[in-house]
Amino acid sequence: DRRLFELLVLESAQAGLSWITILRRREGYRRAFDGFDPERIASYGPDRISALLCDTGIIRNRKKIESAVSNARAFLGIRETFGSFSAYLWGFVDGKPVVNEWKEMTEVPAKTDLSETISRDMKSRGFSFFGPVACYAFLQSAGVVNDHLVSCFRHREVQFL
């Protein structure tokens, strides 16, 4: 679950920015956000948020930082309800990854009905900065959706993970 929370925080921080910008700061995020421990992040108060706004190792956007804190609280709520965030997430796809058969990058969508559904449900549970596009990128990075092109060696590899 912690790995999924890490991906969720990073995808939310990426909104409006390039992915490489966030990847270059990944270790800064790991340090600043206590190893992506949702229990610790959920307890952050105004003083900790103010300190994060001064941290040059992360994107210093107040709304994104505050969303990481509120998303940690929502994440813990989902864990309490479903036993794990993983169980909640995989429940949307009956425990089986969505394996697409794209031949060209132009075929890969930015969002899908699945990401719309999950994003809407997560927002109803208190998540922010997690629209359907960020959600779809999260689903790809978490392995819920396999969007590797069929010509890519990873397409077949990740099918069996």
**Tens digit of each residue's pLDDT (9 = 90 or more) over 62-75:** 999 999 999 999 99
Tens-digit pLDDT profile for residues 114-156: 999 999 999 999 999 999 999 999 999 999 999 988 888 888 7
Model pLDDT, residue 115: 98
Model pLDDT, residue 161: 60
Question: Of 154 and 108, which is predicted with more confidence?
Answer: 108
Residues pairing with 98 in the sheet: 145
Distances (CA, A) of 113 to 5, 7, 18, 36: 22, 20, 24, 28
Q: Judge whether residue 160 has pLDDT over 90.
A: no
Tens-digit pLDDT profile for residues 3-60: 999 999 999 999 889 999 999 999 999 999 999 999 999 999 999 999 999 999 999 9
Range of the domain at 42: 2-159
Number of domains in the chain: 1
**Residue 145, SS3 per DSSP:** strand
Burial level of 56, CB count in 10 A (0-12/13-18/19+)?
A: exposed
The token duo for 24 is 């270059």
Instruction: Provide the strand spans (E) within the chain.
Output: 98-99, 145-146
> Where residue 105 sits, what CATH number does that domain have?
1.10.340.30
Model pLDDT, residue 81: 98
